Structure formats: structure tokens, C-alpha cells
Structure 1
Amino acid sequence: MVGVRWMTAGRDATRERLESALGSGRGAVLVGAPGVGKTVMARAVAREFGRQHPGVATRWVSATESATAIPFGAFSHLVELAGADEPAALLRAAQESLRRYAATGLTLVVDDAHHLDTLSATLVHQIALSGMARLLLTVRHGEPCPDAVVALWRDGVLERCEIDPFDADESAGLLEQVLGGPVEGVSAARMFDASRGNPLCLRHLVEAAVDAGSLRQVEGVWQLRGEMRLTPELSTLIDQRLRTLDPEVRTVLEFLAIEEPLSAADLAEVAGADALERAVTSGVVTTSDQGGHLLVHPFHPLYTERIRSGLGRLAARRLRKVLVAQLSATAPTHLGGRLRIAGLALDSDVPPDPDDLVALSWEAMRMGDLALGERLARGALDQTGALSARLPLAHALSWQGRGRDADAVLAPVDPETLSQWDLTAWTLPKAANRFWMLSESGEAVAYLAEMRSRISEPAAYHTLDALAATFAMNCGDLDRAVRVASVVLESPQAQDLAVAWSAATAALSSARLGRFDDVPGLAVRGLEAAHPGLLRFTIGFGQALTAIMAGDVAAAGERARHYLTFSEFQQPGRAIAEVVFGHTLLAAGAFTEAATVLFSAAAALTSTGYSWGPLALMGLAQALGQQGRAAEAADALQRAVAAHGLRSRMYAPELELARAWTLAAGRDLPGAVAAAREALREAEQTGQAAVALRAIQEAVRLGDVTGLRAARRINADVDCVAGRLCIDHASALSDRNGGALDAVSVELEAAGMVAVAADAAAQAAAAHRARGHRTAEVAARARAGALARRCGMPATPALDEVLNPLPLTGREREVAVKVAQGLSNRAIAERLGVSVRTVEGHVYRACVKLDLPDRSALARTVGTSPAPSVTPSSKNR
């Protein structure tokens, strides 16, 4: 990991300003925080200037704190002085000494000019005024600086340029550039938060994380797991800064190393008001106003990270005890405050009551903080070993995808010794863990049914029934899932956990079944339950699909963004929210963004057993396929097939749509149409009306209208905007009615289905062309191109036929595609039911039309050209 790459990446604007100031003026002063890349930037600019002006000499001066008291200490290698003299005489002698370098031009680079002694600073000022040399200075932001240096930019002699830390996006881009691959959003955010965008800090954090194995590639995506460490070099740099602090100021940072931010009032009480004021003055802490409360933060997270790593266990426990006492003095009643105090008290001399820890563990998980839920539950288990502590811990571990660990927590319990209530509570995570995390879905269904037979208490068996409903949904029996969940939801004896599971299951199932009116009420019921946890994303997926089918893709996207915001940067919640968001992007036609989001989500979910993982891969294959990225789509499809099973049986239609777009990208349009029809069959077989309509719509985009009758039948039951648009689209295409296709394209765009609208416009252009309507054809083609550009120019068959046509007949194109797929003429003849000689004739004519020398050239050309079209069928209309 070369340092120059870390320091110069993404700094083009700053570099251009410096180069301009150096080339057309007297020079510049580059100001920035420590480690932000001032020195590297100055060296790069000076080196480039020297390359462009070979007759100009470049001399480098490095000022240091230790040489500040030595007259001309930084210039000792350039300036020859005979002995002590008056300052004015010394300055004249120094200038004369430098003139020998300036005979043909001189560039003088002064690094860390804030450390210059008074005479050196005055010399630099005089050189700038005289124009004897071009100057490039670096100055550390916030450091005391000699007046002579400050005057250079204050009086406009040199241009002042700021070099700032990277923002979050620049930091993420730099990580991907240096690591050579995509970086998970959660991990990039953690690295940015720790480094504050400082490239030097970022570099050392990455190197330490890679060396420790906590930053590694999973399915091609870099992921950070566990704690971040500091390299010895970075620790040394931070220690140099910390050693200059007064002991009282360091105490302020010690408290912030234990917990941050802290209110100024609390920090003043435990560390002292004077110490806090000096910490603010010295710049090691900053303050912010939040709701009228003044909060104190470390100036840089690495300060507190370094202090925390150096604190002994006893010292850390003492600091926690003091903080717990101070924070508890105000007796916080809000949940966030109670969770904060409990987390602090865990590793203090006064641990919280285990019953309180258990209750707060559930609350933390309800808010989506699985890591804190695990800590609190483990703290309770360490004290008691009781089943009440094992249950939230098992849930927290399982929901994080750590199935084996969860099973180990539950294993010591003998179910034969449990009451009905305890048996129910123990069975729930045990069965769920087997279903999702341990790849024992079939066994988990049977196990849950067997344990259910032992329970007679209604409130207890409702909880198991809620989980059974979720199993049924994932296994593809959505109608049964809704029936079982409805019984639970109608019972006044059902507890919150049962309500959360049942409402989430019923919300998503109802949306996919086409029972859209039921979704809003179910969503509210589930979200109001005490323990929705990760179940909120199941609800969100149902809400998003409902909005899409109502013809409001924008609303679906906003709903998905809401859940993405809720998840913040905690896994696996963040990745699950990205799956929901990615599928709304697919509906909108934002394939590039969808592929990025789903690629990252799939990698994060690889180590878990969630059915969201296969779904992410299915969506990824669809996005890549519609971009024409055949090989990548095929890889995603293969991984989706491998991950698919009983626990994701509900998503079988999506798997077939992934296959359809993968085949379309590979120029196998008949295979793509067959896969889309299979998606419809899978959806209808499981009663998923909404998904069936979407499968028909995708088939229509591929030129197939055989699902028109099914669309009319299905939409007669569910009656939604997306269904009506699908029917209008298929009907217009079946009739080759260009005007009707134009109209439906406009309606699809209004619904937010931009890629579908682009395909409809392209199909309209083809229909107008077939009828000789040249003006209408040109207008439709222009509209198709404009819509396609909004989607990043997808490579769908309809768009490619109109925007990038090959001058071949349908049969010539079909044969050429099979040639590109590597089939021999005999194999092609067998597939098409024609003679080998006929195939040879088609190959010959295709080569002539495309001005190609031979069969190999035809394969290469067609293999990289847009996908061929297929003539729409009117069968079974």
C-alpha cells in the first residue's frame, strides 16, 4: 500500500491550485491537519514543476520543532554563515548564499514552516517579496506560526490553499482504489469514523486491520469485522501528541475513551471544570450543541482509541464506576439512557442486576442493536447461568448469523425439566436457528411441530404458531402462513413476540399474494409490538412491494430508504435493509446502483443462513443481466442456486427471473423467455399473485405475450395499477400497436418503472417501423434512448433491437447467436430442426452482411453485440 497513493488520491482540485500558484505567481502555502497529506502533495507538485521546467533548481527545507531555537537551523544545509553577526547582516549573507542556486531559477519547498525559527521565517518572507525563488510552504493547521510566515498569505504574497481530510465518499473511494475492490458500506463508514478522513490514519488503520485479518475479502467485498487496531507507527505518532498533555487534560480524554460523547456538565463533574476547559483550549476535544445540551467529543477518535488500549483493566473499571455513578445521578427514564448506563456498568465493580440486563437486552434488540443485546444478555448469563439470560443471548447470536454459537448457548438446557412457558421460550430460538442458520429447514419444521404438541397453554403455543407461520411463508406456502398468523393475531392471549412474528409474516405474505389492502394494518401491528427487531425488514419488504404494485415505485424507494436509515451501520440489519432497497432500485430500473447495493449485501449475508442472502443474489443477477454483464450475472445466478433451498422456497420466482435475465445477457432469448414463463408458473403455483404479475411483465419486456390471459385473470382478483399496466403492455405488444405501446410507456414512466417504460418505447418503435410509420418510429426511438440513459443504458433485447440493431434476419440472428455460444453447425442444425447446409448458408449470409471474414469473427462480433430480438407470440392470448 504505497503512501503516495493514500495521500494524493482524490486531491486533483487542490493540486491544480498549487500548480497554478507555483507556475503563474510567487507560490503558495499549503495548510492542513497532521497526516492529511501536505508533505506528499508538496513533493508531488514540486516534482512535476521541476519536470516541466528542467532549468529550475528545486531545494527542500524541512523545519523541525527541535531546531526552532537554532538560527537558520532548517537552512543549515543550504546557507553558509561565517559566524555570529547582527540579524540584518545574517539575513543578507543567507540570501547571498542562496543566490548560487537561483542562477537559472529556484523553487524552494519549506515543509512544516510553522516550526521555522525567527530568522529562517524572515528569510522566507524576504525571498517571497524579492521574487528570488518560487515558494511552496506547508503549515500545520492550528499550530502557532511565525508572524513572517503568516504575513505571506495574510498580505496576499503567497496563495493559501487548504488541504482537507477526505469526506465519507472520498474515503470510501480511496479504500476501494487502494484495496483493489469494493468495500462494504458499513466497513467503509467505520474506517471513516475512526480516521475522520485523514489519509495517514486511514492508511495505518487499513494496514493493521489487513495484517490482523479483521479486514478481509468475502465474496469479492472487503469487510471489517471486530475491533480496529493501530499500527506501531500510528501509535507512536499519537503518543507523541498525547505526551504533551497535562495529566488533568489526559484524564478528560480517559473518560471519553470509556464513553463518548459525554455532556459537558457530567464531564466537568468527574474530571474537573478547569481540566475540561484546558482540553477544549488545547484542541484535543470539541463540543457540539444537541437540543440545548453541550456535548464533548474527542477531537480525533484515535486519541481515545490509543488511550483506551493503554488503560489497565483496573483503571478502566474505576473510570466506568465513576461514570455510572455520575450518569445515574440524574436517574434517566428514557430507554437510551438506561441502555447506556447498563453497558457501562457491565465491566465495572458494580454490575447491573441480571434481571435488568435481560430486560434491557430484549430492548436493545428491538431497537436493532444486536451487538449490545448480546453484551447485556451475556452479562446476565455470566452472573446467573439462567435460562432467562440464555434466551436473549441465543436470539442475538442467531440473528447475527452465528448459528453454532447460539446452539451452544441453548445446548446445556434439558427441555424435559422445563415448564410449558420455558419450553416454548427455549424452542423458539432452537427451531429458528435450525431453520435458517444450521441449514436444517425440513428438520426444523418437524421439530417445531413436535414441540408444539407438548404445549397446551394458548399464549405459549401462539408463539410457536407464529414461528410456524414464518416457516410456512419461507417454504412457499404463503396462504397457510397467513391463516396461521391470523389466528395468532386475533387471539387476545398472544404475546408481543408472537404478534411481531405473525404480523411481519402476514404483511409480506399478503403483499406477495396480492392482498394489498391488508398490508398497512399488519405493518402497524407488527411495528407496534415490543420485539420487532429484524422482523421490521420483512414488514418493509411487504410495504415496498405493495407500493410498487400500486404504481408508486418512488414511494417504495422512500420506504426502503427509511429502513436503510434505521439499520444505520449494524450487520446483518444493514445488509437486509440493502436487499429491500436493492429490489426497489430494480423496479425503478436503477440497475447500476442496484447491482452495487445487492453485491455488498450478498457478501455480508454469505456467512448467515437468512433467506435474504439468496434473494440478494437473485436480485444481483437480474441487475447484472439487464446491464448485459453476462459472465457476472451467471456467477451471481450460480451462487443463488447454491444458496437456495427450502428456507427460500418463497423466492423461487425471483430465482427464475434471475435465470431469465442471465440468459438474455448471454444472447439466449428463447431460454430467457422459458425462464420467465417458469417464474410465472412458480408464482402461480404458490399463489403469489403480485409476483406472478411481475413475472409476466418481465416476460413482456423479453417480447413474450403468452402470459396475457393469465395477467387478465390474476388482476381480476387483485386489481392493482401494476397489473393493469402489465395487461396494457402485453396487449399492445400482442397487437403490434405502436400507438398503444407509446401510451403505456408514458404510464409506466409515471409509475416509476423507467426501464420497463424504455422497453415499451423501444417496442413501439419496432411496431411503428413494421407499419411504415417513420415519424412515429423516430419519436419512439428517441424516447426509448432518453429513458434508457436514465437507467444507465441497459442491454435489454427490446432496447438493443431498436438502438443497436444488427442487419440480420431473425433466423440469421438466431444462428449467429448460437455460433457465438460455441455450438457447431451440426449442433445448431439439430436444435433448429434444419439441415447442416441450411445453417452454413445462414452463417455465410450473416458474415457477408456484417463484412466479416469467417465464422470465428462472427462469433466474436455477435458475442459482444446487443442481444437479438424475438418475435412476440400471440399464442394463448
Structure 2
Amino acid sequence: MRDRWPLTGRADELGTVADILASSDYRGIVLAGEAGVGKSRLARESVARAQRAGWTVHEVAATATARSVPLGAFAHWSQGLEGSSLALANLVITKLTADTGPGRLLVLVDDAHLLDELSALVVHQLVLHRAASVLMTVRTGQRPPDAVTALWKDGHLRRLEVRPLTRQHTCELLESLLGASADQACSQRIWNLTQGNALFLRQLVEQEQDAGRLLRRDGTVVWTGGREVSPSLMELVEHQTGAVPRKVLDVVDFVAIGEPIQVACLMLLVNPDVIEEAEQRGLIRTSADTVQMGHPLYAEVRMKRCGPVRLRRLRGQVAMAMKDSRGPADLARRGLLWMESDLPPNREVLECAAGAAASLLDFGLAERLYRGAADAGTDSDAQVQLAYSLLMQRKGDDAEEILDAIPAHDVASSAFINDVILRAANLLWSKRDPAESWRVIDAALIGATGERAAQLLAFRANQLALAGRPAAVIEVLAGVHYGLLDDFGATIGLCAETLAYGELGRPDEACVKAAACYRVVRKTPHGSFLAQPLTEFHAFALAVAGRTAEAVDVAERHRCDSSSEPATAQSVASSIAGMAALFSGDLRAAAGLLPVHPGPGMAEADFLLVNSFQRFYLLRAQVLARLGKVEEAESTLEAAREYGHAAYEYVETTGILAQAWVAAARHRLVQARQFACQAAEFARDHGQAAREVWCLQTAVQFGDTAVVPRLAELAAVVDGPRAALAWRYAAALASDDTGELDELSKDFEAMGDLLAAADSAAHASSAHRRAGRRGSGATSYTRAEKLASRCGGATSPAIVGAQVAIPFTQREREIAVLVVQGLTNREIAEAMSLSVRTVEGYVYQACAKAGVAKRTELSSVLPTAVR
């Protein structure tokens, strides 16, 4: 491998060098960049190409050792020469240019910032007198001789900044070297350490290969073991940074320990002049008000070189200097530094840091900090917060142990996160025992008044919302005064009401509750956690009512706002946007936003991801089925079931609808309609009127017209455009009203449900053909195709059915499809709950309309999609 390092990601730079050498505008080019980015490698490749093009090339390598010797870089041409400095320079130039054609001499000067003054004069004169073209490399942050600097400042040479490799090019280089792509964890770790520095990348990869830690598994390279920096890599980094004064190393060490560290904080620790020197050397870099390491490996090396005693002392100094920190990230980092320093435990500092870590969804760090605070003596409220951090990490047994040790009378009565609520929450989520969780709240409600009663009822509303009992949520919270709740408790109650009103088909009231909740969420340190369910419930309330564009806007705005939040929050925000995209019929966007797969670490994932994964993955199964990817949809549905949770009854319909769409994708329409109606029945039993409309609309899209009476009832009580449109759709399909079906396609499109619009147009096309209006049928089908394409290539029973030009009835087409798929008449009868004789009759009629003699010949008249 060591002899096969290809030049990757430098096509643009190579082209620029070639263009400059061929141009008369410049006499050469300067490749400038940080140490190790690949300037010399790029220069050598450019020189090799120039030689192949007929150039004569002389190579000069400047070194720190030769810098003390006049003409040290040109020693090969200056041996035996005598005279004044200018005369010597001219003699060297004469030797260099001897026996070369005019305009075809290229001099490569590597590390030109290390040239001695006389060698620099030679280069300057070569360029000035147009005796040769020059290609030189210089290191950013180093001061070259004035004669060299003048060459690009005066416009004789073009200066080109050579940047580190991009992450994409780093991955490409790794793949070409290792003969296989690296898995995500491996490529991420290598990128984090090298940041595109080609020299560090090479040394690191060779080190890890020699150590046997870069292994190929199932065709993918994985990085095993720890992230130890080898002595050779440490020496390389230290060589690249050069000899650094002790005072500058102090700056580097402080930044390595505390990065990103505030400039004001660093200036409390070291002299500003020394900070400037460290920055000029490229060891650190400043951005706005913060300071970071110049390269990640610098931090790795310095942390290795510092002994544990020095590290503990420096951490303490940085922590003390951060006394004015305000942001949650800085507060959490200060607490961690304090805990790992030589400072005595400080309860106030560590508890404040733990709360900040929890607000960043880093509950593992919050746990460490709360446990560290215990060494300084902590109170019951802090123990409650520790139990909360354990709960959010799904450490149910540990949380219960902490709660059992807390005296109930010591817990603050005003906090929603208290011992009783946490015990019920632990039972609900970690222990997966909703019944016992309810019993805890029931027992606590006996005799409860004031703040405690309000807290318990808010949590009860949350239990009811998850259980799919929206009317009960409204009833319970009607007696709760939100002024008695802290921000966390108010958010829990308002979230439950947002979902409940959405389920009941009252989107305006859902929006009012959501708006009130957003105002509270913005004030609470738990905002990045609580904003997720709030946005999900708000977007759902709008989408299920048919206010699709608003739902997409809410979800996308939240996804944008979450871009700077922790990765968990970003992931859930993307899933919420995927849900909204599915409701709008944008299957391509939904497939890109909804979670792709559980991954091997899902079992250990945090609270937010684990408890949201199932419902979003069920939506992904629907997306895949609607795209006709049946096998993927089935495997996704199966994976989602593995993460089912007894507390989440309210999403039961989502899973049943996923089954319905999978059945529909397999052209099992009777089964698909049965699933859709089963989902609707569940929603009706739970009072989820808006969700029931969604399920019944799906049944209509599968061709079920028996739902017309129920949709008429729902249209009278469910607000938003969806209920009325679904009722009209069912009625039009039942009466083969082609004009109304065509109009409904436009109305669904205006509402924002493109897939329903495509299905309505497809149903219109089939109805037109049955009525003998082939032209109208073709027009409607063309519209259905265009809408399906806008959905991302959607398919559905209605769209596939419209591809059949023969005027089959719906039942004839369904049976013909099952015949083509190889089912016997008896199997078809069982699947459709018909007698075998009835099936035989339909098969006969279908064959007659198709003009074929045998049932086996039906495949010749049906579209490929159903075969």
C-alpha cells in the first residue's frame, strides 16, 4: 500500500498548474498551504506531467539545515564556484539554464519558505529575467524570504491555496487504498482526526494497518480497538509544528483541554501576545469569539505529552477561568473539566453543568455530573434529576433504585419532574408496564391538591394521549390550571391537548394549544427534547385534517430550527418532516427523511430515538409500499414491530395501514380494504375521528365504497377539508360519477394530497372506459400518471387498474389480477370471501371481455406491474 498512494481530489489544482505553465501571463505558480495538505505531492505530479510534455525540470529542495548555508538549496550547481553573492547567483543561473530550450525549463522549489537569502535571489532572478518557469511550494504561516514573497506580490507568479482534502475525497482515497469502502464509524473517526490532511491521513492509516486494527468485514473496512496515537505519528505531528516555545505550548494545551474555548477566557490564562504567536504558527485558530486547535491531531499529541498531574491542574485552571460561562455547552464543559481536575467537588458548579448537559440531550454526561455532585453533598431534587437522566438513558432499574432512596417529603412540590411522576414514567416507558404506571398516578391522586394534583393530572393526560383516548385528555385537563405547573409540566399538558384536538378533528383548537406550548418550550432548558413531540403532534393535527401545506411548513421550519440541536433532535425532526411529506404524497422526500433502518445500536439508543422509532418506521413501510417496493416494505414493517411499545396505542392505526398498503402493493385488494377498515374501526373505538377519516379515505383509494355512510357522519363533525373530500370521493366512486372523480382529483391536489389526487384520476379513468369514453379515460389516466410521477413514482391499485384498457368491473379486474399471479379459483375464493362458483363466473366474464379463451391467457392483457 505504501507505494500506491494515489493523488486524489486534486484534479482542479492539476489543471490550474498546467494552465499557468502554458500561459504567458505568469512565469510560474506558488502552491501554498498548511503542513501536510499535499503541496509537495501535487507539485511532483505536476512536474511529472510537465516532463512528459517535453519540459526540462530541475528540482530544488529547501531545508532548515541548508538555510544557514548560502546557496544551500542550489549546492548541486554552486560547487566550486567563487565570487561575490551576485556573481555566484548569476553563475548558478547559467548552469541551470545551460543546454535547455528557451521557454521549456521548469524549476521546482519545494518548501521555498526555507530558502536562504542567496538561494531566494537565484529564484527571483530566474523569474525576473524569464530564464525559467518556477513551481514552488510554501507553508502557510511561515515567512519566506522577501525575494520569494515579492514574486507573487508583484504578479510574476500565481499563488494557489491548496486546501485539505474534502471529506468526500478523503473517503475516496481510503477506498482506493484499502480496496473497499470504510464503514461510517471508521470514515468518521479518520476524518475527525485528520480533517483532510493527506500526510496525517497516510501515517494514521499505515499505523492502524500495521497494528491490525483496520480490518475488512463483509466487504467493508472497520476500525477496531482504541484511538491510540503511535510514537511515529506523534513525532510527525511535532515535526510539522516545529520547535515551539514553552509559553506557546501552554496556549496549545489550554486550548486542547477546553476547545472550543472563549477568547476572553483564554486571555485570563495566558498573555495575548502568546496567543497571537500560537495562531500565527497555525497551532490554533480563532473564529469569532472562540479558539480551537489548528488541527485535531495537535490536541491528540499534546494530551498524550501532558502527564495526568499536569492535565488535572490545567483542567482546573480552565474551569476556574470559565466562571462567567452562560451557554449550556460551555456550562456542561466547565462541569466536566471541574470534575476531572484537581479542584475539590463543587455542588453548585456540577449540578448547574448537569442541568445544562440534560438540556443538550446528553443524559450520559448529566448522570456523571450529578453523581460527581454527590461527592459534595447533594439534595433530593438533584437526585430526582439524576433519576430523570437515568430514565432518559433507559436505565430503568438504576432510576428506580435512586427513587426508592429519596424521602418523599424532601422533594420540591413545584417541580413536575418529581419522584412520583418519574416513578410512573419509569414504569410506563422503561418497564413497559402501563397498567402499573396508571396505578401509581391513581394512588398519588388520592387527596392530592394544588400543584401536586395539577402535575399528576398533566401526566395522566399524557398517559391518555398515548392510549389513544383524546376525549378523556380534554376532560382531564379541563380542570387543570396551567399556572400551577412549571414549564415542563405545562408543555406535557399542552402537547397532550394538541394531539387530542388533532385526533378529534378540531385542528384550529390544536393550533391554539400548540402556539401556547411553543411559547413555553422556548423558555425551558428542555426545549430541544420537548419541541419534538409538540411539533409532531402539531404537524399531524394539520396533516390529518387536510391542511397539508401548513403541516409541511411546520415540520420543515422545525427541521431547520433543529439544525444546530443535538444529533438526536435533528434525527427526530427529519422524521417529523418525513411524516408531513408522506401526507402530502411526496414519497421521494418522505423516503429521504424517515429513518432508514434501526441499526445495530438502536437497542442502546436514547429515549427520544427509541420511543419515536416505531411510528416513523411504520410510516416508512407505507412509503415503500406506495412506491411498489414490496419486499423492502415488508422487512421494514417487520423491523418496526420489534420496537413496538405497549404504551403507544394511539399509533396502532399506523401499523394496520402499513399492512394495508403492503397488501395493496401485492394486489391483495380485499385484504387491503379489510386492513384499512380494521384501522378505521380501531380509530372509531378510541374516538380518533380525524384518524378514522384518514383510514377510511385509504379504504376508498382501495376501491371500498361501503364506507360512504360513515364518512358522511364524520364529514359533519370533523373540521378541515379532508373529511368532506373523502366522503365525496367514496360517493362518486360508488356511483361511477366520472365528472365528480375528475373534479375530486383537482380538489385533492389543491388540498395537497397528491397520491389521493392521482388515485381519484385513475378511478375516473377506469370509470370512463367502462362507460365507453376511451378519450376521456386516456385524459384522466394521463393526469394520474403525472401526479404519480410528482409523488416520486407512486403506484397504487387504482393507478395499476387504470392501465388496463379493457372495461373490466372492479371485481373482474381484481380476480383477473389474482389469476395472473397464479392463484387457483379456490384460493381466490378464500382470499375474497366468495364461492368458487362465483369466482368461476367472474373469470369467465373477464376472459370474454378480454377476448381470450383460457384463464391462463389473461396475463397477455394485463399490465406488467401485476404479473
Superposition TM-score, scaled by structure 1 size: 0.77
1:556 to 522, 546, 551: 551
- 1:831/1:412 CA distance change after superposition, 3 Å: closer
1:176 Cα deviation from its structure 2 partner? 11
The answer to whether the aligner puts 1:452 opposite 2:444 as a matched pair is yes
In structure 1, the residue matched to 2:614 is 614
In structure 2, the residue matched to 1:845 is 857
> Aligned to 1:274, what secondary structure does the other structure show?
helix
In structure 2, the residue matched to 1:854 is none
In structure 2, the residue matched to 1:466 is 458
The answer to whether the aligner puts 1:419 opposite 2:409 as a matched pair is yes
- 1:770/1:241 CA distance change after superposition, 3 Å: farther
Distance 2:760 2:769 in 1: 14
Distance 1:211 1:707 in 2: 69
The answer to whether the aligner puts 1:394 opposite 2:391 as a matched pair is no
In structure 2, the residue matched to 1:538 is 533
- 1:756/1:38 CA distance change after superposition, 3 Å: farther
1:637 Cα deviation from its structure 2 partner? 0.6
1:522 to 508, 513, 525: 513
- Range with bigger deviation, 539-548 or 676-685: 676-685
**Letter matched to residue 303 of structure 1:** Y
Distance 2:322 2:146 in 1: 46
Unpaired segments ≥5 residues, structure 2: 83-87
Count of matched residue positions in the alignment of Structure 1 and Structure 2: 832
Query: Do the aligned partners of 1:592 and 1:792 also contact (CA within 8 Å) in 2?
Result: yes
For residues 213-612 of structure 1, what are the structure 2 equivalents within 5 Å? 235-289=234-288, 294-328=289-323, 341-350=334-343, 353-354=346-347, 357-358=350-351, 361-362=354-355, 364-366=357-359, 368=361, 370=363, 373-384=366-377, 387-399=380-392, 402-404=393-395, 406-411=396-401, 414=404, 418-419=408-409, 421=411, 425-438=418-431, 440-442=432-434, 444-445=436-437, 448-449=440-441, 452=444, 456=448, 458-487=450-479, 489-490=480-481, 493-527=484-518, 528=520, 530=524, 532-533=526-527, 534-549=529-544, 551-564=546-559, 565-566=561-562, 568-600=564-596, 602-603=598-599, 605-608=602-605, 610-612=610-612
The C-alpha deviation readout for 1:537-567, integer Å capped at 9, x for no partner, is 1111111123324544343234334444347
For residues 11-90 of structure 1, what are the structure 2 equivalents within 5 Å? 17=16, 31-36=32-37, 38=39, 63=61, 65-66=63-64, 69=67, 83-84=80-81, 86-90=88-92
1:582 Cα deviation from its structure 2 partner? 2.0
The C-alpha deviation readout for 1:651-699, integer Å capped at 9, x for no partner, is 1111122223333444444433333333222222222222222223334
- Range with bigger deviation, 227-236 or 697-706: 227-236
Coordinate RMSD, CA, aligned: 5.4
Query: Do the aligned partners of 1:665 and 1:867 also contact (CA within 8 Å) in 2?
Result: no
- Range with bigger deviation, 627-636 or 690-699: 690-699
- 1:272/1:472 CA distance change after superposition, 3 Å: same
- 1:522/1:443 CA distance change after superposition, 3 Å: same
Query: Do the aligned partners of 1:815 and 1:843 also contact (CA within 8 Å) in 2?
Result: no
- Range with bigger deviation, 501-510 or 169-178: 169-178
**Letter matched to residue 381 of structure 2:** S
The C-alpha deviation readout for 1:679-723, integer Å capped at 9, x for no partner, is 222222222222222223334444444444333322321221233
The C-alpha deviation readout for 1:161-220, integer Å capped at 9, x for no partner, is 555446788889999999859959xx9999877765657767889999999999999999
- 1:621/1:454 CA distance change after superposition, 3 Å: same
For residues 194-209 of structure 1, what are the structure 2 equivalents within 5 Å? none
Query: Do the aligned partners of 2:788 and 2:795 also contact (CA within 8 Å) in 1?
Result: no
Query: Do the aligned partners of 1:256 and 1:298 also contact (CA within 8 Å) in 2?
Result: yes
The C-alpha deviation readout for 1:699-750, integer Å capped at 9, x for no partner, is 4444444444333322321221233343344444445455544444444444
1:636 Cα deviation from its structure 2 partner? 0.9
The C-alpha deviation readout for 1:213-234, integer Å capped at 9, x for no partner, is 9999999999999997767665
In structure 1, the residue matched to 2:671 is 671
1:643 Cα deviation from its structure 2 partner? 1.6
1:630 Cα deviation from its structure 2 partner? 2.1
For residues 697-708 of structure 1, what are the structure 2 equivalents within 5 Å? 697-708=697-708
- 1:730/1:4 CA distance change after superposition, 3 Å: farther
Distance 2:98 2:819 in 1: 79
> Aligned to 2:286, what secondary structure does the other structure show?
strand
For residues 648-727 of structure 1, what are the structure 2 equivalents within 5 Å? 648-727=648-727
Query: Do the aligned partners of 1:62 and 1:112 also contact (CA within 8 Å) in 2?
Result: no
- 1:336/1:129 CA distance change after superposition, 3 Å: closer
Distance 2:216 2:749 in 1: 39
The C-alpha deviation readout for 1:121-168, integer Å capped at 9, x for no partner, is 888889999999998766544544577876777787776655544678
2:95 to 87, 93, 96: 93
Query: Do the aligned partners of 2:495 and 2:517 also contact (CA within 8 Å) in 1?
Result: yes
- 1:845/1:338 CA distance change after superposition, 3 Å: closer
Query: Do the aligned partners of 2:120 and 2:148 also contact (CA within 8 Å) in 1?
Result: yes
Distance 2:804 2:59 in 1: 63
Query: Do the aligned partners of 2:31 and 2:138 also contact (CA within 8 Å) in 1?
Result: yes
1:478 Cα deviation from its structure 2 partner? 3.5
- Range with bigger deviation, 211-220 or 478-487: 211-220
Distance 2:728 2:574 in 1: 32
The C-alpha deviation readout for 1:290-314, integer Å capped at 9, x for no partner, is xxxx444433444345434544443
Larger radius of gyration: 2
In structure 2, the residue matched to 1:875 is none
- 1:121/1:336 CA distance change after superposition, 3 Å: closer
- 1:274/1:164 CA distance change after superposition, 3 Å: closer
Query: Do the aligned partners of 1:283 and 1:299 also contact (CA within 8 Å) in 2?
Result: yes
1:411 Cα deviation from its structure 2 partner? 1.4
Distance 1:467 1:215 in 2: 49
Distance 1:357 1:246 in 2: 35
**Letter matched to residue 845 of structure 1:** E
**Letter matched to residue 591 of structure 2:** A
> Aligned to 1:519, what secondary structure does the other structure show?
helix
- 1:95/1:726 CA distance change after superposition, 3 Å: farther
- 1:394/1:231 CA distance change after superposition, 3 Å: farther
Distance 1:584 1:337 in 2: 35
The C-alpha deviation readout for 1:23-68, integer Å capped at 9, x for no partner, is 8999866554445455666677788x69xx9886998968464575
In structure 2, the residue matched to 1:855 is none
In structure 2, the residue matched to 1:858 is none
**Letter matched to residue 471 of structure 2:** D
> Aligned to 2:595, what secondary structure does the other structure show?
helix
Superposition TM-score, scaled by structure 2 size: 0.78
Distance 2:221 2:458 in 1: 37
- Range with bigger deviation, 385-394 or 272-281: 385-394
Unpaired segments ≥5 residues, structure 1: 851-861, 869-877
- 1:17/1:274 CA distance change after superposition, 3 Å: closer
> Aligned to 1:419, what secondary structure does the other structure show?
helix
Distance 1:95 1:61 in 2: 13
- Range with bigger deviation, 190-199 or 246-255: 190-199
Query: Do the aligned partners of 1:387 and 1:413 also contact (CA within 8 Å) in 2?
Result: no
> Aligned to 1:287, what secondary structure does the other structure show?
strand
Distance 2:337 2:133 in 1: 56
Distance 1:57 1:814 in 2: 75
- 1:90/1:45 CA distance change after superposition, 3 Å: closer
Distance 1:866 1:680 in 2: 28
- 1:509/1:867 CA distance change after superposition, 3 Å: farther
